[in-house]
Amino acid sequence: MLAKRIVPCLDIKNGRTVKGVNFVDLRDAGDPVELAKKYAATGADELVFLDISATEERRRTLVNLVRDVAAQVNIPFTVGGGISSVEDVDILLQNGADKVSINSSAVKRPQLVNELSQKFGSQCVVVAIDAKKIDGEWIVHLVGGKVPTELNLFDWAKEVEERGAGEILFTSMNNDGTKDGFANDALARLSEELNIPIIASGGAGNVQHFIDTFKDGKADAALAASVFHFQEIEIPDLKQELKKQGIPVRL
């Protein structure tokens, strides 16, 4: 079995790392370059950098900050926010990103997934899906969770897989920042219905939540932010506990 991955997420706004609850009430969580450096040194398997206001502000991702972070890490580095073209991705890869994450731009123009996977390879293309459970159905949302669509989470995930996405980063808006655990029922269904890795996001509050998402949610990777940024969970301790539970991890 492949090792399960622990992925800290840097949500960036105005050049700083921020964290909120249910996508709102953002608070400062530190300097992204220093945080990235720390995570790479303490056993994170990958790093995700999301420029969370780029789409809303209709601008490109912060390339200089991407370059600064990339210079400090030796682990796979995924960048998202404001990416809408092959040219955008080209610039980010040239400046140190290993993978890109697209969300709103993929919904608005699904062909973008095909274009990116054909040009750069599916291993480079992560499709992020922010979804909220409304009346029993998981509805895809855009622009940092502000704009609901008519898309169903599972249908959309299958479509982007068929178009060439290499991974799905699924964030449950209901769970995000609550520290009540990941949306494991939805994650397990995604894992069963798709053949590409699923990254769990939204809801990490303690070590047991990571154990549960790997065992019950069948997630391939677990992404978290505030529990790492505010030292509530240290990655080496988390990995030791996962190993004790029989979950394969890289130590």
Rounded CA separation 189/170 (Å): 12
The H helix count followed by the E strand count for the chain is 10, 12
- Catalytic site includes residue 45: no
Q: Which residues contact 235 (CB under 8 A, 6 or more apart)?
A: 6, 8, 39, 42, 43, 44, 228
Residue 11 falls in the annotated catalytic set: yes
Q: What is the DSSP annotation of 175-206?
A: TTTT-S---HHHHHHHHHH-SS-EEEES---S
| Residue written as token pair 């790093």 | 47
Return the number of other C-beta atoms located less than 10 Å from residue 86's C-beta. Answer: 14
Q: Coil, strand, or helix at residue 152?
A: strand
**Rounded CA Rg of the chain:** 16
For 90-98, the CB contacts below 8 A with 24+ separation are: 91/60, 91/63, 92/61, 92/63, 92/66, 93/120, 93/124, 95/63, 95/66, 95/67, 95/70, 96/66, 96/67, 96/69, 96/70, 96/71, 97/49, 97/66, 97/70, 98/124
Name beta bridge partners: 237. Answer: none
Considering 45, 51, 88, 130, which one is annotated as catalytic?
130
d(CA 207, CA 234): 10
Could you list the active site residues?
A: 11, 130
